[in-house]
Amino acid sequence: MAAVIPRRISPAAFGKALAAFRAIVGSQGVLDSDEDRQTYIDPYAMGDGLDHDCSAIVAPATTEEVRALVRVANEFKVPLWPVSRGKNLGYGAASPAERGNVILDLSRMNRVIDVDVKQAHCLIEPGVSFFDLYRHLAEKKIPLWMSTPGNSWGSVIGNALDRGIGYTPYGDHCEQICGMEVVLPDGDLVRTGMGAMAQSAGWQHYKYGYGPAWDQMFFQSNFGVVTKAGLWLQPEPEMTAKVELAFPKFEDAEWAIDLLADLRRRDVIQHNIVFGSPVRAASVVSQRAEWYDGPGAIPDSACEAMIKKLGIGWWNAKVSLFGHAATVKAQVEILRALFEPRIGKPLNFELWEQGDAPDKSARGIPTTVGLQSVNWYGGRGGHLSFAPVMPSDGKLILDYARKIKAYYEQVGQDYYASFTIGRRHVNNVSLILYDRDDPAMVTRVDKLYRHLVTEAASHGFGEYRGHISYMDAVADTFDFNDHALRRLNDKVKACLDPNNIIAPGRNGIGTRPA
């Protein structure tokens, strides 16, 4: 493998930068061999992933080390790509948008600094994973719950910074962040919210502070490196109930989404609801060839077979209720009255009360079982996710789903959709599964993704989160007033980071000319 170095830097200067990095974090904290860089290649890369290869990895253990590294990066103009755990699977994992960046791996900064049991919040470092936080709470028997994403291997902070989501009342992860500590691109250190007071009596109980609240500026951006953040946790409720709803027909999406979205807006359902197609369910428990082994997209007849054999619907939703026992029981009856007559079957709720086994509850327990889905085609699998934001209107969504399904079929990839229903929006997660070592499939997948970006934009729908290979393509669809938002982002970037050393190109900000 040829040595990779950052753009426009001489090998000699890069060597000096690496030596300066080693002086800060020690030799074990800097990796630059081919073997070590290979462990940071996106496991879902389309092909070998070398188009997003890094030049080295630097892993600090403290905020002071991060500050020192950022100063050195400025001195030598070495771009750093910060990741918290780097498990952003489906969006590029730890790999940088621009080939040759140095990955700033924060996973050694993994302390749970404080948990306030009474006020239900904690202060953590970026390397704390969902598993770490769960274990911390369980080992100390702290009755606070967390929300977890479908793949919980990653970092609580990293996921929130990409506006990741989970499926409990605390599932909008960026909304649970309260107070951040950030190393700015010039090495300065700020705390947001009440943390801006040196003698603050606490900065995890109020988000805004005095004057502008800058926190949002550090989500899906490259304006700083987050080194600590506060997180709100859910006080353990008295009771939960969970139920799986199966809607038999494709057309059911219209009424079902309207009804679920209404319940979500009214907070009867307090969490983001996943509403998914048969391949979504089947890909976690089986492989494609068990249903269909032919060319082209999987036919409807195979989906019908899944529906029958797995006892699911064309659309499937998991709904959970949380609260005091009297409230939960009343809400169970509300859901029964609304859904049973239309589905034609009794709903089968699983109830949990304090003291019951954790697995019966609707709390977030970290898991990686969803990763199984990338084995759909066999071989080294991967997936790409395109998830445009839409207004939560059942008819609009059904019409759009029909059109997108037809396009998947035309291209020859299996239609896998889920609609994540929020309070006033729906995210159409169009997942594209592939075998990364099948070049023809990779070409189809790229074509499909690019088509989805343009098609969604032509309806006025924009993506909620970007994959490293398509960050510019997505940013370009936010084009009001000749891309005024990109101009603003780039102005802020030039002001805070004149050397463009933090994550150039992240979300289309500070993209360098080729």
Output the smallest distance, CB 109 to ligand FAD, in A: 9
Q: Is 149 in the site for ligand FAD (CB under 6 A)?
A: yes
Q: Which does residue 428 touch among ligand FAD, another protein, none (CB within 5 to 8 A, set by kind)?
A: none
Q: How many CA atoms lie within 13 A of 12 on its CB side?
A: 0
Residues 90-129, mask of contacts with another protein (x by CB under 8 A)? ---x-----------x-xx---------------------
- Residue 218 in tokens: 């550090």
Residues 262-291, mask of contacts with another protein (x by CB under 8 A)? -----------------------xxxxxx-
Can you state the angle between helices 253-265 and 325-343, rounded to 10 degrees?
160
- Cα-trace Rg, the chain: 23
Instruction: Find, among 160, 105, 113, 104, the residue nearest to 132 by Cα.
Output: 113
Q: Is 293 in the site for another protein (CB under 8 A)?
A: yes
**Burial, 106: exposed, middle or buried (Cβ in 10 Å; 0-12, 13-18, 19+)?**
buried
Output the smallest distance, CB 329 to ligand FAD, in A: 29
For another protein, the closer of residues 293 and 333 by Cβ is 293
d(CA 228, CA 220): 16
Q: Which does residue 285 touch among another protein, ligand FAD, none (CB within 5 to 8 A, set by kind)?
A: another protein
Biggest CA–CA distance in the chain, Å, is 73
Q: Is 29 in the site for another protein (CB under 8 A)?
A: yes
Q: Is 139 in the site for another protein (CB under 8 A)?
A: yes
Q: Is 34 in the site for another protein (CB under 8 A)?
A: yes
Q: Is 38 in the site for another protein (CB under 8 A)?
A: yes
b/e map 427-458, b = 16+ CB within 10 Å: bbbbbbbbbbebeebbebbbebbebbbebbbe
d(CA 236, CA 225): 32
Q: Is 511 in the site for ligand FAD (CB under 6 A)?
A: no
Residues 165-194, mask of contacts with ligand FAD (x by CB under 6 A)? x-----------------------------
Secondary structure (3-state) at 104: strand
CA distances from 97 to 8, 21, 38, 70, 77 (A): 16, 22, 16, 19, 17
Contacts (CB under 8 A) with another protein, residues 352-381: 357-359, 365-369, 371-372, 374-375, 377-381
- Identify the sign of the CA torsion 247, 251, 253, 256: negative
Of 137-145, 149-157, 186-194, 453-461, the segment contacting ligand FAD by CB under 6 A is: 149-157
d(CA 151, CA 166): 10
Output the smallest distance, CB 219 to another protein, in A: 24
Selected binder of ligand FAD within 69, 128, 161, 243 (CB under 6 A): 161
Instruction: Find, among 449, 443, 410, 409, the residue nearest to 429 by Cα.
Output: 449
Q: Is 39 in the site for another protein (CB under 8 A)?
A: yes
Q: Is 62 in the site for another protein (CB under 8 A)?
A: no
Selected binder of ligand FAD within 144, 261, 503, 509 (CB under 6 A): 503
Q: Is 272 in the site for ligand FAD (CB under 6 A)?
A: no
Output the smallest distance, CB 338 to ligand FAD, in A: 26
Instruction: Find, among 242, 253, 247, the residue nearest to 342 by Cα.
Output: 247
Quickly count: other Cβ atoms within 10 Å of residue 345's Cβ: 11
Output the smallest distance, CB 176 to ligand FAD, in A: 13
125 and 142 Cβ atoms separated by less than 8 Å: no
Residues 99-138, mask of contacts with ligand FAD (x by CB under 6 A)? -------x-------------------x------------
CA distances from 98 to 54, 103, 173, 454, 514 (A): 8, 11, 27, 23, 10
334 and 259 Cβ atoms separated by less than 8 Å: no
Output the smallest distance, CB 373 to another protein, in A: 9
Output the smallest distance, CB 47 to another protein, in A: 9
**Residues at the site binding another protein, with contacts judged by CB under 8 A:** 1, 28-29, 31, 34-36, 38-41, 43, 48-50, 57, 59, 93, 105, 107-108, 131, 134-135, 138-139, 152-153, 285-290, 293, 357-359, 365-369, 371-372, 374-375, 377-381
**Residues at the site binding ligand FAD, with contacts judged by CB under 6 A:** 82-90, 106, 126, 149-151, 154-155, 157-159, 161-162, 164-165, 225-226, 370-371, 373, 503, 506
